[in-house]
């Protein structure tokens, strides 16, 4: 994939933060850190899109005939939780 050069301006506080992330050893340079931030943002947007889609599907499905006790019981079974 071809790389595109970008020029950005950050505050002094942001510069200190970026440098601390690089100094931690997780990233080799500013570009690696910023690409990681972009990937994270893309993943979050994808997850939000899935959630929105599920909410829309839920709204379209109408009112459930099931009781809250039935719903909670199913959730406990599926996820092995104590609600």
The verdict on pTM exceeding 0.75 is no
Residues spanned by the domain of 18: 12-79
**Does residue 36 lie in a domain region?**
yes
Task: Dump pLDDT digits (tens) for 22-63.
Answer: 999 999 999 999 999 999 999 999 999 999 999 999 999 999
CA distances from 35 to 21, 39, 50, 60 (A): 13, 6, 23, 37
**Does residue 7 lie in a domain region?**
no
Domain total in the chain: 1
Alpha carbons 72 and 44: distance in angstroms, whole number: 28
**Does residue 48 lie in a domain region?**
yes
The region that residue 30 occupies, defined by phi over 0 for left and psi between -120 and 50 for alpha, beta otherwise, is alpha
**Does residue 35 lie in a domain region?**
yes
Alpha helices in the chain (DSSP H): 12-23, 30-60, 68-79
Residue with tokens 């839920």: 58
**Does residue 25 lie in a domain region?**
yes
């Amino acid at each position: 994939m071809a790389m595109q050069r970008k020029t950005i301006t950050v505050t002094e506080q942001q510069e200190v933060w970026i440098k601390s992330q690089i100094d931690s050893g997780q990233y080799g340079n500013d570009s690696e850190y910023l690409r990681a931030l972009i990937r994270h943002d893309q993943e979050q947007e994808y997850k939000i899109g899935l959630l929105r889609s599920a909410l829309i599907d839920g709204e379209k499905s109408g009112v459930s005939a099931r009781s809250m006790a039935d719903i909670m019981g199913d959730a406990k079974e599926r996820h092995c939780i104590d609600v």
